[in-house]
Amino acid sequence: MKKVLFLAMFVALACSVATFANGKKEADNGKIKITLITMDSIDEHWLKVKAGAEAKSAELGNVELTFNAPPGKVDANVQLQMVEDAITKRANVIMLAPLNKDALAPGVEKATAAGIKVIMIDSGVSTDKYEAFFATNNGNAARTAADTLAKLIGEKGKIAIINAQAGAGTTMTRENEFKDQIKTKYPNIQIVGVQYSDGDKTKAMNQALDFMTANPDLAGFYGCNEGATVGLAQAVAQSGKAGKVKVVGFDFSNDTKALIQQGAIQATMVQNPYQMGYLGVDAGVRALQGTSFGGKTVDTGVTVATLDNLASIK
């Protein structure tokens, strides 16, 4: 009986090893599974990231890309569960734009420990357990935004900031570097307050209306992402103050383009989300292959869009 039991265990172990070896072979010879997780699936910014990732996946031909995003930019725990799900489904690469740099750090570390290559997109995380980070240099872009708005308002007056998520690495950098630049270079500019819209355009619009009601002499606004920028600019236009209250924002979409044409936005910092997605897939595949992809942190660039150069912005 013992001999039979031993034989059965030996056969089971052999089958298990064979299955593992076969699974590894299939992973090596089949599709590379990449999961892209962004902050939402609505903003044009994230759809451009997705488009870039899809383009590179199609170009390579051996990538199976899965796109996932929470329904709103509020609960980082939903994103963390998506990372857990990608780990369970044995993704080879996870591309992640975290809603919260601290909340997503454990997921990134767990994925890396599981042998999954993690590529950060757009926003950072509170760990270094990832392969590469593709993003705008948000500090430089925020300082440029501060200089641009200061020039527009004659380097004096009251301004307000409408941000997206409190706690997201990217948007907090955009806020803090902007504030530091204003404080350091423009002593006659007063920041009257900051509000967090979660990237919701309606929420941002109402916050901007409240700022203008409380500060009738408000000279300008700074928006830290597409939703905040569009919402506050709509409030400026609705109030009949387009061109009077200057607006400098972040990101580029059909809405921001239209509002620039209407004179409700004077300038916006245009990132290159398509390139983030495209280069992110390339880096993930190269990391699996053990080949170089250009450094751990890669600046994907920024352009200041205004009415003067609007025709050249894509």
For 30-153, where are the alpha helices, taking DSSP H only? 44-60, 76-88, 105-113, 138-152
CA–CA dist 305, 314 (Å, integer) = 10
Could you tell me the sign of the dihedral formed by the alpha carbons of 161, 164, 168, 169, in that order? negative
Predicted local distance difference test score (pLDDT) of residue 270: 94
Parent domain of 92: 31-135+273-300
Asked whether residue 131 falls in the same domain as residue 142, the answer is: no
Q: Are residues 121 and 46 in contact, defined by beta-carbon separation less than 8 angstroms? A: no
- Number of C-beta neighbours around residue 196 at 10 A: 21
Asked whether residue 113 falls in the same domain as residue 174, the answer is: no
Tokens representing residue 172 in the block:
């907090």
From first to last of its 314 residues, the chain has per-residue pLDDT tens of 433 333 343 334 333 333 333 333 334 448 999 999 999 888 888 999 999 999 999 999 999 999 999 987 668 899 999 999 999 999 999 999 999 889 999 999 999 999 999 999 998 899 999 999 999 899 999 999 999 999 999 999 999 999 998 877 788 999 999 999 999 999 999 999 999 999 899 999 999 999 999 999 999 999 999 999 999 999 999 999 999 999 999 999 999 999 999 999 999 999 899 999 999 999 999 999 998 877 799 999 899 999 999 998 87
- Number of C-beta neighbours around residue 61 at 10 A: 7
Asked whether residue 58 falls in the same domain as residue 101, the answer is: yes
Q: What is the pTM of this model?
A: 0.72
Q: Which CATH number is 292's domain given?
A: 3.40.50.2300
Asked whether residue 147 falls in the same domain as residue 255, the answer is: yes
For 89-129, where are the alpha helices, taking DSSP H only? 105-113
Q: Are residues 204 and 228 in contact, defined by beta-carbon separation less than 8 angstroms? A: yes
Q: Are strands 246-250 and 189-196 parallel, antiparallel or unpaired?
A: unpaired
Asked whether residue 262 falls in the same domain as residue 151, the answer is: yes
Residue 39's nearest CA partner among 11, 14, 1, 76 is 76
Asked if residue 13 is part of any domain, the answer here is no
Asked if residue 307 is part of any domain, the answer here is no
- Our count of domains for the chain comes to 2
Asked if residue 14 is part of any domain, the answer here is no
Asked whether residue 105 falls in the same domain as residue 131, the answer is: yes
Asked if residue 1 is part of any domain, the answer here is no
Residue 73's nearest CA partner among 227, 216, 191, 231 is 227
Residue 113's nearest CA partner among 134, 135, 84 is 84
CA–CA dist 92, 80 (Å, integer) = 17
Asked whether residue 98 falls in the same domain as residue 174, the answer is: no
CA 313 to chain centre: 20
